[in-house]
C-alpha cells in the first residue's frame, strides 16, 4: 500500500513537470550571418524567393523595423545572448574582443529554470560557450565545406557536407536525443551568408540567367559624407577576384585557398565544373572600368543569393521537424541575422555603418496562440530585446542588468508603447576602414557622430532620403532638429551608461 502511494506521488509529480514543460514554450532561435533584408521576399525583395523565412512571417509576425546595436558579427551575438550593449557585455569588436562567459545570459537563466539549452553552429565569440546543457560550435568563422566543430569534451570533429546542411543535421540530432519531459531552447547558428559566399553544389548557377539591376546609388561619390568617403568596402576596389569571386589566375592559386582545399573529390569536381567556364569567359572579355565593376557585382549577387538559398531551405527543415514531432504549437521560432548587409548600395558589400542596409536586420517570429498569423509590426526593436523577450515568454524574471525590453506586449496589447528612439555604437577601427561612430535613430531622423578615423556629424531625414545620400548636418533649416536630436542622443548615452560615447560627445570637432 505504501509502495502504491509512492508510485502515485511519482506519477503525479512527473505529470506536473510534463504539464509545466508543455505550458512553457520551447524556443528555437535561428541566427544567420550577414543576411540582408533586401534578399528576403517577405520584405518585398524581387531578388529571390525565401519561402521558409516567409512562412515564419506568414504564420507569425514580420518585424519591419528591427535593428542592431553594433553591426558586426561577434558583437551582435554577444548582445543577443546578454541583452546588453557592447560596452556592457565587453565584446566591442572582432579584432580585440573575447567574450566573458562568466557573465549572465538569457541562456543561463533558462538553464537554471529547467530548460535544456543548446547552441549549434556558428558561435564566433572566441571563448567556449558557458551555461548551456549542450554545445557544438564552429571554430571562428567556420567553413562552408566539411566544417570542423569544437566539441564539449575539448575535441574537434569534422563532418562531411555543406555547412548549412550539417548545422541543421546536428541540430536535429540534438533534438532527437533531448529529454522530452523538459522544455528546450535551441540556438541554430548558421555560417551563411558570410563572405566568401560559396554555395552548396546543388545551388551553383541557380541565378545565372538573371541580370540584377544596379542599386540607384551604386556609383555613389560620397559627397558630404567624410566617413563613407574613406571606407574600404567597395565592390569596385575591395572585392578580391580570387578570394571573393573565385576567379583565380591559375590552378596553383586556387589550390592554396583554404575553403577549396577542404573539399572532397566530388565537391571539387562540381565546383570546378561550374566555375572554370566562368573563369575562361571572364578572361576572354578583358573588362576594365565600370564594365569590370558591374561584372563583379553580378558575380557577387549570384554567389550570395545562391548561398542564401541553402540557408532558407534549411530553415524550412527546422520548421518541418517541429511539425513532424508535434512541437509547432508550443514552440517560439525566431529568425534573425546578426546584422544587415550591403548588396551594392553605395557601391558596397559588408556592413558596419549605421546606414539602414547594415543597421537594420531581418527578423521574423512565430508564437502560436500568442502572435496572430500575418502580423506586421512597425515598432522600433533591437537585437538587444531578444533576451528579455524570451525570458518573459518563459515566465522568468528579467535580470536588472539587461538593457533590452521585452517586445511581447507590443504583439499582444494594441495600447502598448515601444521605444521612441534607438541607440547605436560601432567601435572597430581596422578592417574596411570604417570610422567608429555612435548615433540615434527615431525611425525618421538619424544623427550620427563619427570619431577616430574621421571626426564629423551626419544627419538624415529617412522619409525624404531613404538611401541616406544627403547629409543635412549644418543645414540651417535643420538647426533646431539637430539640437533636439543631440539632447535625445545624450539622454540615451546616459540611459545605457556609455562613458566612452559621453566623453566623445562633449568634445568639439576640429574641422
* Spatial separation of the C-alpha atoms in residues 150 and 385, rounded to whole Å: 29
- The helix (H) or strand (E) run that includes residue 461 is strand 456-461
* Confidence label for 6 from pLDDT (cuts 50, 70 and 90): low
Q: Does the pLDDT of residue 116 top 50, yes or no?
A: yes
Q: How far apart are CA 403 and CA 411, in angstroms?
A: 20
pLDDT band at 12 (very low <50, low <70, confident <90, very high): very low
Question: Can you tell me whether residue 240 is helix, strand or coil?
Answer: coil
Enclosing H/E stretch for 445: strand 445-450
Among 446, 400, 399, residue whose Cα is nearest residue 423? 446
Q: Which of 389, 432, 451, 459 is nearest to 95 (CA)?
A: 432
Burial-class residue 162 by CB neighbours within 10 Å (0-12, 13-18, 19+).
buried
C-alpha 40/C-alpha 201 separation (Å) is: 21
Grid cell for residue 173: 540530432
Could you report the per-residue pLDDT of 246-283, keeping only the tens digit for each? Answer: 999 999 999 999 999 999 999 999 999 999 999 999 99
Burial of 288 (0-12, 13-18, 19+ CB in 10 A): exposed
- Residues 144 and 198: their CA atoms lie apart, in Å, by 7
Q: Which residues lie below 8 Å from residue 502, measured CB to CB, with a gap of 6+?
A: 490, 493, 494
What pairs with residue 117 in β-bridges? 185
CB-based contact 137:189 (threshold 8 Å): yes
Tell me whether residue 121 is exposed, middle or buried, using C-beta atoms within 10 angstroms of its C-beta: 0 to 12, 13 to 18, 19 or more: buried
**Which carries the bigger pLDDT value, residue 465 or residue 95?**
465
Residue-wise pLDDT for 130-163, tens only, equals 999 999 999 999 999 999 999 999 999 999 999 9
Question: Grid coordinates standing for 106?
Answer: 538569457
Q: How is 88-152 classified by DSSP, letter by letter?
A: HHS---TTT----TTS--HHHHHHHTT-EEEEEEE--SSSPP-S-SEEEEESTT--SBS-EEE-T
Q: Nearest CA to 361 among 101, 125, 77, 5?
A: 77
CA of residue 449 relative to chain centroid, distance:
24
pLDDT of residue 5: 55
Chain segment 294-350, per-residue pLDDT in tens:
999 999 999 999 999 999 999 999 999 999 999 999 999 999 999 999 999 999 999
Beta-strand pair 456-461/445-450 = antiparallel
Residue with grid cell 533531448, as numbered in its chain: 178
Give the residue from 388, 380, 422 showing the smallest Cα distance to 408.
388
Cell of 410: 507590443
pLDDT value at 73 more than 70: yes
Assign 510 a pLDDT band (cuts: 50, 70, 90): low
Provide mean pLDDT across the span 417-426. 96
CA distances from 209 to 299, 303, 396 (A): 12, 13, 51
- Which cell goes with 57? 512571417
C-alpha grid cell, residue 64: 519591419
Q: At what angle do helices 51-58 and 289-324 cross, to 10 degrees?
A: 50
Contacts of 11 (CB under 8 A, 6+ apart): none
Q: Calculate the average pLDDT of the chain.
A: 95
In order of their start, the domains of the chain are 26-415 (3.40.720.10), 424-506 (3.30.1120.10)
Three-state secondary-structure class, residue 253:
helix
pLDDT for the residue numbered 500:
97
Cell representation of residue 466: 531613404
Of residues 449 and 13, more confidence is placed in: 449
pTM: 0.94
Q: Is residue 200's pLDDT more than 60?
A: yes
* Mean pLDDT calculated for residue range 370-389: 97
Amino acid at each position: 500500500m505504501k509502495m502504491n502511494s509512492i508510485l502515485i506521488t511519482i506519477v503525479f509529480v512527473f505529470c506536473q513537470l510534463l504539464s509545466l514543460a508543455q505550458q512553457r514554450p520551447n524556443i528555437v532561435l535561428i541566427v544567420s550571418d550577414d543576411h540582408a533584408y533586401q534578399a528576403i521576399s517577405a520584405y518585398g525583395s524581387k531578388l529571390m524567393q525565401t519561402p521558409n523565412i516567409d512562412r515564419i512571417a506568414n504564420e507569425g509576425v514580420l518585424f519591419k523595423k528591427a535593428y542592431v546595436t553594433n553591426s558586426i558579427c561577434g558583437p551582435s551575438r554577444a548582445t543577443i545572448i546578454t541583452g546588453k550593449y557592447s560596452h556592457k557585455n565587453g565584446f566591442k569588436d572582432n579584432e580585440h574582443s573575447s567574450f566573458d562567459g562568466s557573465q549572465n545570459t538569457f541562456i543561463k537563466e533558462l538553464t537554471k529554470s529547467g530548460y535544456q539549452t543548446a547552441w549549434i553552429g556558428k558561435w564566433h565569440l572566441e571563448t567556449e560557450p558557458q551555461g548551456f546543457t549542450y554545445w557544438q560550435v564552429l571554430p571562428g568563422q567556420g567553413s562552408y565545406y566539411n566544417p570542423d566543430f569544437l566539441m564539449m569534451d575539448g575535441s574537434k570533429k569534422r563532418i562531411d557536407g555543406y555547412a548549412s546542411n550539417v548545422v541543421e543535421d546536428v541540430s536535429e540530432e540534438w533534438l532527437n536525443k533531448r529529454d522530452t519531459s523538459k522544455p528546450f531552447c535551441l540556438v541554430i547558428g548558421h555560417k551563411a551568408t558570410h563572405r566568401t559566399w560559396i554555395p552548396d553544389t546543388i545551388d551553383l548557377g541557380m541565378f545565372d540567367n538573371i541580370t540584377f539591376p544596379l542599386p540607384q546609388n551604386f556609383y555613389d561619390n560620397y559627397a558630404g559624407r567624410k566617413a563613407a568617403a574613406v571606407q574600404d568596402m567597395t565592390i569596385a576596389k575591395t572585392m578580391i577576384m580570387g578570394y571573393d569571386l573565385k576567379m583565380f589566375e591559375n590552378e596553383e592559386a586556387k589550390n592554396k585557398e583554404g575553403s577549396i582545399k577542404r573539399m572532397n573529390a566530388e565537391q571539387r569536381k562540381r565546383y570546378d565544373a561550374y566555375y572554370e567556364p566562368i573563369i575562361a569567359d571572364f578572361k576572354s572579355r578583358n573588362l576594365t572600368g565600370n564594365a569590370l565593376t558591374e561584372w563583379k557585382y553580378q558575380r557577387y549577387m549570384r554567389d550570395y543569393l545562391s548561398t542564401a538559398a541553402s540557408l532558407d531551405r534549411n530553415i524550412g527543415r527546422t520548421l518541418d521537424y517541429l511539425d513532424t514531432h508535434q512541437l509547432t504549437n508550443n514552440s517560439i521560432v525566431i529568425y534573425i541575422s546578426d546584422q544587415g548587409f550591403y548588396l551594392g548600395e553605395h557601391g558596397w558589400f559588408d556592413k558596419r555603418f549605421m546606414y539602414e542596409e547594415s543597421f537594420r536586420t531581418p527578423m521574423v517570429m512565430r508564437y502560436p496562440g500568442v502572435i496572430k498569423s500575418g502580423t506586421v509590426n512597425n515598432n522600433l526593436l533591437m537585437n538587444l530585446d531578444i533576451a528579455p523577450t524570451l525570458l518573459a515568454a518563459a515566465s522568468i524574471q528579467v535580470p536588472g542588468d539587461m538593457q533590452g525590453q521585452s517586445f511581447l506586449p507590443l504583439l499582444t496589447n494594441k495600447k502598448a508603447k515601444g521605444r521612441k528612439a534607438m541607440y547605436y555604437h560601432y567601435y572597430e577601427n581596422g578592417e574596411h576602414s570604417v570610422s567608429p561612430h555612435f548615433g540615434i535613430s527615431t525611425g525618421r531622423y538619424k544623427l550620427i557622430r563619427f570619431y577616430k578615423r574621421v571626426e564629423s556629424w551626419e544627419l538624415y531625414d529617412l522619409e525624404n532620403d531613404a538611401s541616406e545620400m544627403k547629409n543635412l548636418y549644418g543645414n540651417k533649416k535643420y538647426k533646431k532638429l539637430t539640437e533636439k536630436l543631440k539632447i535625445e542622443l545624450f539622454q540615451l548615452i546616459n540611459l545605457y551608461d556609455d562613458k566612452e560615447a559621453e566623453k566623445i560627445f562633449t568634445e568639439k570637432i576640429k574641422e
